[in-house]
Amino acid sequence: MDYITYAVPFFLLALLVELAYGIAIKKNTYRLNDAIGNLFMGTLRTANKLIIIGAAGYVFYLAETKFSLWRLDAESPITWVFAFIIYDFFYYWFHRISHERQIFWASHVAHHQSEDYNLSTALRQTGTGAFVSWVFYIPMFLIGIPSYVFISVASLNLIYQFWVHSEHIPKLGWYENYFVTASNHRVHHAQNDQYIDKNYGGVFIIWDRMFGTHKIEDENEPCIYGIRGTLNTFNPVWANLHIYVKIIKEMFLSRKWKDKLYAPFARTGWIPKSFPTQVNKDEFNPQAFRKYDPEIKKEYKLYALFQYLFITYIFLAFIQSDYLNYFELWITITMMTFTMYCTSMCLDGKNGLKAEVVRLTLCLIIASYAYVEASLSLIAVSVFIYSLANLLFIIYLNRPQEIFSSN
C-alpha cells in the first residue's frame, strides 16, 4: 500500500503549523515565492507519475516472478523490518550516486534548488526521477521482497523524510547517531564547502557513518541552502530540465567523442576539455551569496497563491480521483504545467501578459469541450469560473491608474 496519499493532508497541515510557529517566534523560514515554487514541483511530480508509462513496473514484475531467489512471507514482521532496512540501504546508494553523476543529478537536483529550508522543501520533488530511480531497487525483488511490501516501505521511508526538512528542530542527542534528523539533513541540503555531498541516508544515518559521508552540523557555520550555479527562477519546467540541457549541450558541442560519450556519466560539476567555449566552474562564496528574491507587487503574490489553490483543487477533484480518461489526463496535466510556468513568470517579476492571454484562451477552449461532454460538466463550470476570475484580475492589474488616483 502507498501511504503517501493519506499523509498529504497532514503534510499541508504541518506546513501551516510550522509557518505559524516561525512567525510567532519571529524566525519565519518561509517566503511565498519559494514555497509556492516548492509546492508546484511536488504537485507536478505526483501528477507526472500518473501519466508516465515506464519499464519499471514490468521489470519489477519479472524480477519478482521469474528471477527472485526465493519469496519472503509478506505476513511476517521480520520481512517488513528487513525490507524497511534494506530499502534504506539501496536508497542511500541511489541518493549518493544522484549527487555524484550527472545523469542522476539531472533528476535529483530539483529537490535541492530551494534556498529556504522548511517543510515545503520536502515536497519539492523531481518530475523526472521515475525514469531512473527504480533501477536501484531491482535487487529487492531478486532477494524475494514482495511488491506489496516494497511499495509500503518505500512510502514509509519517504514519509519519514518529511519532518527532517525544518530549521526549528534542534539536535536530538543520541538519536543523531543512528537516524536521519533535521540537523544532519540540514547539512545535506547545504552548499557550504564542509557540508556539500554529505548525509545521504533516508531513515538511518548509519550508512553515512559506514561509508564515510557523515558530517555533523557545525553550530559555528550556519547552513546556506540551494545549489551551486543558482537557478534564479521559479520556473518548474526549467527546474526539472536544466541539467539535462547541460548534458545535451556537452554531448553535441564537445569536439571529442570521448567527452560526448562520457558526459551523462561524468561527475557532477565536470566540464569537458573539448568544449568549444570557456565554461566557468560554479564557485561558492558564502559572503557574496544572496537568495533569489525578486521584488513584485503583493497583488501578484496573491495571484500566484490563487493559482496554486486552484491547481490543488483540480488535482484532488479530477486527477487523483480517476475522474478523467488518459487523454483528458494528459490535457489537464499539460495545462497545469503551463499554468505553473505562467505563474513562475509572475513570481520572477517578468511580463507574462501574452502567455496569460494564451493560457486563458486555452482554458476556455477546454471548458467548452468539457461542457459538451456530459460527464465533464463539473470541470467545465470550474474552469469557466476560474478563467473569469483570472480575466478580471488581469483587467484590474492593467487598469489606467489615473482613473483610480485621488484628486
pLDDT per residue as tens digits for the range 95-118: 999 999 999 999 999 999 999 999
SS3 152: helix
Residue 319 forms beta bridges with which residues?
none
Which is it for the CA torsion 203, 206, 210, 214, positive or negative?
Answer: positive
Residue 50: predicted pLDDT: 62
Q: How many CB atoms lie within 10 A of CB 186?
A: 21
Residue 258: predicted pLDDT: 94
CA distance 87 to 92: 9
Cell numbers at 134, concatenated: 527504480
Asked if 361 and 341 count as a contact pair (C-beta separation under 8 A), the reply is no
Asked if 172 and 180 count as a contact pair (C-beta separation under 8 A), the reply is no
Q: How many residues does the chain have?
A: 407
Pick from 329, 326, 328, 358: nearest CA to 341: 358
Each residue's pLDDT, cut to its tens digit, for the chain (407 residues) gives 778 888 988 999 999 999 999 999 999 999 999 999 999 999 988 877 665 555 666 666 677 777 777 787 778 999 999 999 999 999 999 999 999 999 999 999 999 999 999 999 999 998 887 777 778 888 988 998 988 898 899 999 999 999 999 999 999 999 999 999 999 999 999 999 999 999 999 999 999 999 999 999 999 999 999 999 889 999 999 999 999 999 999 999 999 999 999 999 999 989 999 998 888 777 788 888 999 999 998 889 999 999 999 999 988 888 877 778 878 888 889 999 999 999 999 999 998 889 999 999 999 998 888 888 767 788 889 899 999 999 888 888 776 654 334 43
Residue 374: predicted pLDDT: 65
Asked if 356 and 390 count as a contact pair (C-beta separation under 8 A), the reply is yes
Integer-rounded Cα radius of gyration of the chain: 23
* Region label for 212, one of left (φ > 0), alpha (ψ between -120 and 50) or beta (otherwise): left
Residue 147 burial class via C-beta count within 10 angstroms: exposed 0-12, middle 13-18, buried 19 and up: middle
Q: How many CB atoms lie within 10 A of CB 98?
A: 24
Cell numbers at 220, concatenated: 559555528
CA distance 228 to 243: 12
Cell numbers at 69, concatenated: 531467489
Asked if 329 and 53 count as a contact pair (C-beta separation under 8 A), the reply is no
Following DSSP, what letter does each residue of 326-364 receive, concatenated? HHHHHHHHHHHHHHHHHHHHHHTT---HHHHHHHHHHHH
The ranges assigned to domains in the chain are: 4-211, 298-404
Asked if 161 and 122 count as a contact pair (C-beta separation under 8 A), the reply is yes
Predicted model pTM? 0.89
CA atoms within 13 A on the CB side of 229: 13
Residue 56: predicted pLDDT: 66
Residue 204 forms beta bridges with which residues?
179
Asked if 168 and 22 count as a contact pair (C-beta separation under 8 A), the reply is yes
